[in-house]
A and B are shown apart, each in its own frame.
Chain A
Amino acid sequence: MTSTDTTPQSLQFECDTGNYHTFCPISCVAWLYQKIEDSFFLVIGTKTCGYFLQNAMGVMIFAEPRYAMAELEEGDISAQLNDYEELKRLCTQIKRDRNPSVIVWIGTCTTEIIKMDLEGLAPKLESEIGIPIVVARANGLDYAFTQGEDTVLAAMAARCPDKAPVAEAEKEERNAISKLLNFGRKKEEVAIEESEYVNHPPLVLFGSLPDPVVTQLTLELKKQGIKVSGWLPAKRYTELPVLEEGYYVAGVNPFLSRTATTLMRRRKCKLIGAPFPIGPDGTRAWIEKICSVFGIEPKGLDEREAQIWENLEDYVKLIRGKSVYFMGDNLLEISIARFLIRCGMTVPEIGIPYMDKRYQAAELALLEKTCHEMNVPLPKIIEKPDNYNQLQRIKAHQPDLVITGMAHANPLEARGINTKWSVEFTFAQIHGFTNARDILELVTRPLRRNNNLKDLGWDKLVRDEAKV
């Protein structure tokens, strides 16, 4: 993709000490229990895990969440208590109180260290209590933040049905999206609708997104005549998509490499490696790549992308020529940096917890291409960053904006450096053409705030002797 490039420059990758702040991957239960409506997430861990969820997830805890801690006590650690009996007691209680369609066990650091055999216990207990039990080891020993979702979806991928139901009517029943689109229409109309699609092998998308975004991206592909046969995860566990050998799959988020691997190796699906549909440029590249795999000539994308950029101009104006520094904590960094470079920003450095160069290959290529086209230097990509070293570099560079975790945001603001809290990108709707504005809404907020406060003369609010 960069063969036309005449400058010898290419992306540089570095790896630092891994002393950085991020959320524990068990945080994925907070959005996944909301996404998968008939699930119950049981985090098997300690008070430390529970306190994190309670504090990090803020008020969500009070909405009678469908998740709980199986809090390990000293007797569990020293194996005075029997793991199987204990889990059975808890899961029976959950079944009685909530009657979920699936219980997801989240393994934690503690279950890893004491080597609790969750994968072994689950099938036995599953057959005894009659509820599917999915095991995901989303622990802080191995993963960062959003990678938690990856471990859950990789485990879910094994549960997707491998044969499409025979009856057509039943299939429609199973499929939430087609049901939504065909809502209230007669069979003939549905048949006409089917003809709007090009004949292509089934495509299943993976990655948990809010339902409105699922609808938007599905409609976007429909415009190209591409039918989305299913989505991992679906709204309900009982609606997990069919995955037959030879189906095509495409990821919507950059942190889903394990899921992608599982889909390819275990389910024999074909992965469409594309940039991610974040920003109008990313969305367009994502659609184009899917079209090209199916041999479809994309229609109207030029105008569509141009139209979106036109509508973004008031925000793009605010950030053009400014620099943004990513400290790195959620693996969305490459895609967002690529979009912001297209908006005219410069990016000295992208911190990222983990870099899967194969899964993100197309995204990295687009990043490189974007830098060349915008004529800006390529960012340095720092895997497993070291926050202390980063703060020294931030101090030296004085970037216009730092995208960072909450641990550093207020202290940086007090030192006159604009910050945007990175976690908001995980929870905001940022995918597709429609939501490009929402990304810029987030990115420009500190700059718009500055415009309001600029004449007050109080940028630096720490005393000179303050450290760092």
Chain B
Amino acid sequence: MKLAYWMYAGPAHIGTLRIASSFKNVHAIMHAPLGDDYFNVMRSMLERERDFTPVTTSVVDRHVLARGSQEKVVDNITRKDAEEHPDLIVLTPTCTSSILQEDLHNFVQRAQIESQGDVLLADVNHYRYNELQAADRTLHQIVQFYLEKARKKGQLPEGKTEKPSVNIIGLSTLGFHNNHDRTELKRLMNDLGIEVNEIIPDGASVHNLKNLPRAWFNLVPYRELGMATAQYLEQEFGMPYIDITPMGVVETARCIRKIQQVINAQGANVDYNVDYEEFINEQTLHVSQAAWFSRSIDCQNLTGKKAVVFGDNTHAAAITKILAREMGIHVVWAGTYCKYDADWFRDQVSEYCDEVIITEDHGAIGDAIARVEPSAIFGTQMERHVGKRLNIPCGVIAAPIHIQNFPIGYKPFVGYEGTNQIVDLIYNSFTLGMEDHLLEIFGGHDTKEVITKGISADSEMNWSKDGLAELNKIPGFVRGKVKRNTEKFARDRNISEITAEVLYAAKEAVGA
């Protein structure tokens, strides 16, 4: 047992549901007790989704405990198949089904007989994998299933596309700024003259998965999601993949150069040769503002300032490199909660920070922040709250995230526009800290309060102790209004002492 208040990565089934709900016309059925379907709430709230989240539950209740699910799971699958005709139904195990050890595989096979669509059992064990690992596995599983199916039916398309093309692998629902990254990556590929063959899983149809091998190469923008699929496609179809996240000016250039290399290696046969150097140069010097920002006086003032970074592998590594390499900021420590992939992280960032921290314990991270007192934090929502407590500004760079991290405006993190967004995020975090600091030194410039008297300040009204006690229970931001309205109410009725009863009478009368 572990005493835990907060976790960075969710349980395995969340990963599976993120993949299933990313595809078009795929439905997930959870084998879970009542109340475990809050994934739908998260999806509907955070992403402000207009459509019903295609996730339902085959409810595990007392009867299931006593007699097993029996026909229930099969019925729920075939019912959903008839109601909504999904292409694929993914039966999703949870922590509960992990312990019940029911033969879900058998249910899937039986349901498949009666279903028009395909039925799969997500191969994820709650106690072995977290959300991110499960998502990676489920995507791989679905891709493999459809490619093998196509191969068996002889429907695998032959050969490559005429022009160089790419599959972008790993964009999903509830991913950090994934929807904006999607647009930016498409734009980047378009600028490079590369066709986008398929983007998976976000918005993809399972029918199109058989076309994946037609692309010249695969791009995996995020370390956490898509690697298993890319490796599988490399093994089975000899497709090269690029796992350099195009985040920050230097890494974007590195990613593009790698693309150039991969294309030219295959282009030899078809006389295809690309040279992206000029594009990189033009974008870096004149389109992205990040290179110019590094040179500007603003950024000079940040030189040597202390920062700490914490998040998932992709974002924490990329931001650490940007801070240290592109802005001259002193990254005291960089950390990740992707413990299962810690070596990769260490390898990526060790030369850009003093210390590497690998942990899933938010308490340890809070302590580490307090210990080094950085000028700014780049982390998850949890680190933002630590920052609030310690009065240190924080830029949010990775999940777990709240609704404000699903902005409507265009805010990619990848590509050249991404570099601009990241500059704003970093610069704004530091200047806010600076302003705060100056205000403290000069004792604040907001002196209005002492000069003019507040409306309620000179009230003559007499508050009884219980009245005052009730008033103090009212949240601070409306208390002044309630106090004024109550006093007005009392004055109008010639009530000399305001008790709790008067306070509530006033509320009833005027909605104070």
* B11–A48 CB distance below 8 A: yes
Known A109-B96, A410-B50; judge A181-B466 contact (CB<8 A). yes
Closest Cβ neighbor of B400 among chain A residues:
A54
Known A215-B470, A215-B500, A388-B83; judge A73-B2 contact (CB<8 A). yes
Q: Which residues of B contact A87 (CB under 8 A)?
A: 1
Contact with A along B470-512 (1 / 0, CB 8 A): 1001100000000000000000000000001100100111010
Complex Cα–Cα for A70 and B3 (A): 5
Closest Cβ neighbor of A86 among chain B residues:
B1
* A114–B99 CB distance below 8 A: yes
* A56–B38 CB distance below 8 A: yes
Contact with B along A68-95 (1 / 0, CB 8 A): 1111111011000100001101100110
Q: Which residues of A contact B470 (CB under 8 A)?
A: 212, 215
* B50–A461 CB distance below 8 A: yes
Known A73-B1, A93-B3, A211-B473; judge A142-B61 contact (CB<8 A). yes
Kindly provide the distance from the CB of A308 to the nearest chain B CB, expressed in whole angstroms: 6
Known A90-B1, A408-B52; judge A434-B508 contact (CB<8 A). yes
Interface size class of B (residues with CB under 8 A): 35 or more
Closest Cβ neighbor of A69 among chain B residues:
B4
Q: Which residue of A48, A54, A311, A407 contacts B508 across the interface (Cβ within 8 Å)? A: A311
A468 contacts chain B at the CB level, 8 A cutoff: yes
* A144–B38 CB distance below 8 A: no
Contact with A along B89-108 (1 / 0, CB 8 A): 00000111011100000000
A427 contacts chain B at the CB level, 8 A cutoff: no
Kindly provide the distance from the CB of A155 to the nearest chain B CB, expressed in whole angstroms: 19
Q: Which residues of A contact B507 (CB under 8 A)?
A: 434
A112 contacts chain B at the CB level, 8 A cutoff: yes
Closest Cβ neighbor of A180 among chain B residues:
B466
B275 contacts chain A at the CB level, 8 A cutoff: no
Known A18-B34, A19-B59, A110-B96; judge A50-B1 contact (CB<8 A). no
Q: Which residues of B contact A183 (CB under 8 A)?
A: 465-466, 469
* B11–A23 CB distance below 8 A: no
Known A23-B35, A48-B126, A141-B62; judge A409-B44 contact (CB<8 A). yes
Q: Which residue of A50, A73, A90 contacts B127 across the interface (Cβ within 8 Å)? A: A73
* A141–B60 CB distance below 8 A: yes
Q: Which residues of A contact B10 (CB under 8 A)?
A: 47, 51
A411 contacts chain B at the CB level, 8 A cutoff: yes
Known A19-B57, A71-B1, A90-B3; judge A407-B50 contact (CB<8 A). no
The list of the 3 closest CB pairs from A to B, nearest first, reads A24-B35, A140-B33, A407-B40
Enumerate chain B interface residues (CB-CB to A < 8 A): 1-7, 10-11, 13-14, 32-38, 40-42, 44-45, 48-53, 56-57, 59-62, 65, 76, 83-84, 94-96, 98-100, 126-128, 130, 382, 385, 400, 402, 465-466, 469-470, 473-474, 500-501, 504, 507-509, 511
Enumerate chain A interface residues (CB-CB to B < 8 A): 18-25, 44, 46-48, 50-52, 54-56, 58-59, 61-62, 65, 67-74, 76-77, 81, 86-87, 89-90, 93-94, 109-110, 112-114, 139-145, 180-181, 183-184, 211-212, 215-216, 219, 307-308, 311, 388, 391, 405-411, 414, 433-434, 437, 461-462, 466-468
A-B contact pairs, 9 of them (CB 8 A): A18-B59, A18-B61, A23-B35, A47-B95, A54-B6, A77-B99, A141-B61, A219-B501, A308-B508
